[in-house]
Structure 1
Amino acid sequence: MAAMHALLSGFAPIWLLTGIGYAAGRGGLLGEQAESVLGRFVFHVAMPAALFTMVSGSRLDAFAHPSMVAFAAGTALVSGLGYAAGRRFFGRERAEAAVSGMASGYVNSANLGIPVAVHVLGDASFVAQVILFQVLLVSPVVLTLLDSGTQAAGPGGERPGGGLRRMLTMPVRNPVIMASLLGVAVSATGLRLPAAVSHSCDVLGAAAVPTALITLGLSLHGGPAERAGGAAHSGGAGGGPGRSAGRAEAERGTVGLKTLVTRRAGAGGAAGLTTLAARHAEAGVAVALKTLVQPLAAFAVAGPLLHLPDHQVLAVVLCSALPTAQNAYIYAHQYGLDTGLARTCVVASTVVSMSTLSFAAWALGPSR
């Protein structure tokens, strides 16, 4: 009963804020550019503040724990499978395949993981380690793939500025990575920031999750950019050029889906899957990886392989069964990519995870 109450209390803000965003979009309350403006605010301002506050106040030695090995193994497996499926079976370019990988393995550890952990596990210490792992290790990998995959190729197909130089300068250009690195520096040196500075970061960072959920809700109604067929967003991530190729990038993904699934449907006039069906199939694969394969993989590593104590196995499986974080949508939106997959995975995995989280708490909890 307590576990179910924890799930409901954790899911309620997600549905409520997303619903408010949808209602605001449907009523035109915030204007036609609200989705784009709020998305940039989250990515460039609120999220960096939240990440800096969290990382700077955390102990970086938390990774040296067998439980994190189990969680990391499950995350790496399903993220890799999601990326490979996007590239191999759905014809995605590198950047959009990175979104597929993120939608498959990046868990909603903050606004859902913390309340679930507090009520089911009794504390949120392991969730804090998960958050650090995703911020410091998973996000830089995803953002590097997005950054390298969304730069317009010059004559001959080369990347402007050189791939190595862009990779080395990415922390300076990307506010999410820069904020995380600054947080690491503060934590490692034991520096204490002035109260006014730390409090300002707390207040600003607190806006990240609710604003991201409002933005997600706006996208469910279908903003002007989506109705225009994936028109470019103004301002690339990390100060780069605007994504004028955003629409072309989305169209290439659609063409790749349609061509590939039609070819695989067989010759002789057999009807191929429609593009819409292919998109649903891609989302279904990502949601299945997120809500089923990831917790099962984490359980296999934590239990039979590492023989962790029961309470640690429960913590690893619960965190692995959390739904896709709204960061996947924010990243796709900021880089001018087709946001349909990320949006669908966030919503669908949140619905499915209510069952998988409940089952994990029942099967692995102390009362089993």
Structure 2
Amino acid sequence: MPSLPPLLSGFAPIWVLTAVGYLVGRSGLLGPQADMVLNRFVFHVAMPAALFVMIARTPLDRFANASMLAFAAGTAVAAGLGLLAAHRLFDRALPERAIGGMAAGYVNSANLGIPVAMQVLGDASFVAPVVLFQILLVTPAVLTVLDSGRAGRRALLTLPLRNPVLLAVAIGAAVSAVTTATGWHLPDEVERSCQLLGGAGVPTALVALGMSLHHRPAAAGPARLAEVGVAVAVKTLIQPLAAFAVGAFLLHLPPHQLLTVVLFSALPTAQNVFTYAREYGRGTALARDSVLWSTLVSMATLSAVSWALGPA
């Protein structure tokens, strides 16, 4: 039986697991609240375990380089435009603006970035600094905005203790710093347990995403379609173009580094955005539709980046 083209094969698990979630939701097999329960499992259990072990075993200086500067610039431009569009064009409240910015600038770096990078670049080492950048800088900023709307400003000081994602990030960063300074490593039993638990996060998040499609309105209004269209356009076109401009004209990156930066910037919106939106009940439809449509559109844009910037 013929296999899928290599680049498209990286997208196959996303669509398959999302379709499984849709069928499970449509059948009612797990009950009417199952997508919420699965999403809370991802947010409170699986994702913190995965983030903790990933950060704990990665030196924190991995994202301090010129390539990451270009990627961060593209992210800042895209997220800023997403925030601005949510505010000026669609008159959203601050938490929805945060989700709009994240939908426009937060890339699917792990489960899709790895197979795409291996196919186009032959090397997935840039995944680690991208993940660190998004987890250590972007995610805390967005979750702080979302949590402030839920708990009030006075509770922000205790946010890292109440938010399992930020708590995992903080502990993982502390362990990474200790490892760098002393050479001490996590016990194998702890690391393997966290890896096993964290491995459930991505597939469960995709199943929950698919289940949410069963409950979506039959037809979205023009404003919702326009809002999703803007987020997807910024994510799949503006972000890689901004990263290319900074990398090529300001930082003068070598061709392979430039391809790496632009390729990762062109990745679609991560399903984590939907997980955060669903957990806080803000901008859920925008996050869900942005993940789906940007993943579809990015199949074309990633191929275009590979063709335009790849070796002849």
TM-score, structure 1 length as denominator?
0.80
CA contact (8 A) 1:93 1:149 kept: no
Alpha-carbon distance in 1 for matches of 2:49, 2:166? 11
Equivalence for 1:187: 176
CA offsets per residue over residues 273-316 of structure 1, 9 Å max, x none?
Answer: x9810111011010000000000000000011110000000000
Among residues 215, 219, 232, which one is paired with 2:212 in the alignment? 219
Question: Where do residues 143-292 of structure 1 align in structure 2 (5 Å cutoff)?
Answer: 143-151=143-151, 159=152, 163=153, 165-190=154-179, 191-222=184-215, 276-292=221-237
Among residues 301, 305, 312, which one is paired with 1:360 in the alignment? 305
CA contact (8 A) 1:47 1:205 kept: yes
Alpha-carbon distance in 1 for matches of 2:32, 2:107? 30
Alpha-carbon distance in 1 for matches of 2:144, 2:230? 23
Equivalence for 1:243: none
Quickly say closer, same or farther: Cα 1:332–1:85, change in 2 above 3 A: same
Alpha-carbon distance in 2 for matches of 1:179, 1:303? 36
Deviation of 1:56 (Å) = 0.6
Equivalence for 2:130: 130
Look up the SS of the partner of 1:29 in the other structure.
coil
Equivalence for 1:99: 99
2:115 maps to amino acid: P
2:12 maps to amino acid: A
| Percent identity for Structure 1 against Structure 2 | 63
Question: How many pairs does the alignment contain?
Answer: 304
Look up the SS of the partner of 2:269 in the other structure.
coil
Structure 2 residues not aligned, in runs of 5+: none
CA contact (8 A) 2:100 2:283 kept: no
Deviation of 1:83 (Å) = 0.8
* Match status 1:53 vs 2:42: no
1:279 maps to amino acid: R
CA offsets per residue over residues 62-108 of structure 1, 9 Å max, x none?
Answer: 12200000000010111011011101210100001100000000000
Equivalence for 1:81: 81
Alpha-carbon distance in 1 for matches of 2:109, 2:6? 14
Equivalence for 1:333: 278
Equivalence for 2:245: 300
CA contact (8 A) 2:99 2:283 kept: no
CA contact (8 A) 1:18 1:214 kept: yes
2:296 maps to amino acid: V
Alpha-carbon distance in 1 for matches of 2:6, 2:258? 19
Quickly say closer, same or farther: Cα 1:327–1:102, change in 2 above 3 A: same
Look up the SS of the partner of 1:150 in the other structure.
helix
Look up the SS of the partner of 2:122 in the other structure.
coil
CA contact (8 A) 1:17 1:213 kept: yes
Alpha-carbon distance in 1 for matches of 2:25, 2:220? 26
Alpha-carbon distance in 2 for matches of 1:118, 1:58? 20
TM-score, structure 2 length as denominator?
0.95
* Greater length-normalized contact order (CA 8 Å, ≥ 6 residues apart): 2
